[in-house]
Amino acid sequence: MKAADIQYRRATEEDLGHISKLLTSVRGDRTGLSARQFLVACASGLIIGCGRIKQWPAGEKELASLAVAVGWRKRGVGSTLVSKLSSEEKSRPLYLLCSPAMTKFYAPHGFHVVGEDELPLPLRGEQLRIIRELAVPIEAVVAMALI
């Protein structure tokens, strides 16, 4: 199947079970799942990728829960999801949290690494929650922003 055969659409409530399974398979963020936040990539009627924009209580926005099924990686699905989500979300800055290895993936989309002093408090808390949950050193979760 080619990239042209992949459809991108807003998620529905019926999609949440599939989204949750996909996120579980990549140890992705499943907190506060809401269909209206998600964009999904579908091929042959199956969800093969997803991503969302989370809004924090003080209005901060985070690109989160990006996941692509293993057999669909390296085909542009993740890049297309990031491009579509970041272009739909007009408010800036738009933050994300990722592993150091993933900074090379997000940089071409305009994201750059930010220090903890540049990270809003709710996202700093999220960064610490991920570090505790995954039992990794602080350097293993990098903050990035699209300004």
Question: Tell me, what DSSP letter sits at residue 70?
Answer: G
Assigned CATH class of 3-146: alpha beta
User: Token pair for residue 56?
Assistant: 């924090």
Contacts of 46 (CB under 8 A, 6+ apart): 18
Whole-number pLDDT of residue 116: 86
Q: From CA 98, how far away is CA 102, in angstroms rounded?
A: 6
Contacts of 43 (CB under 8 A, 6+ apart): 1, 5, 6, 7, 72
Question: What is the separation, in whole angstroms, between the first and last Cα of the chain?
Answer: 35
Whole-number pLDDT of residue 31: 85
Whole-number pLDDT of residue 90: 86
Classify burial at 27, counting beta carbons within 10 Å of its beta carbon; exposed 0-12, middle 13-18, buried 19 or more.
Answer: exposed
Whole-number pLDDT of residue 18: 97
Whole-number pLDDT of residue 4: 62
- Residues linked to residue 9 through DSSP beta bridges, in sequence order: 40
Token look-up 């750059």 returns 112
Whole-number pLDDT of residue 39: 98
**With a cut of 70, which residues of the chain have pLDDT below it?**
1-4
Could you tell me the strand order of the sheet in which 94-98 lies?
Answer: 7-10, 38-43, 46-55, 61-68, 94-98, 142-146, 112-114
Global pTM value? 0.91
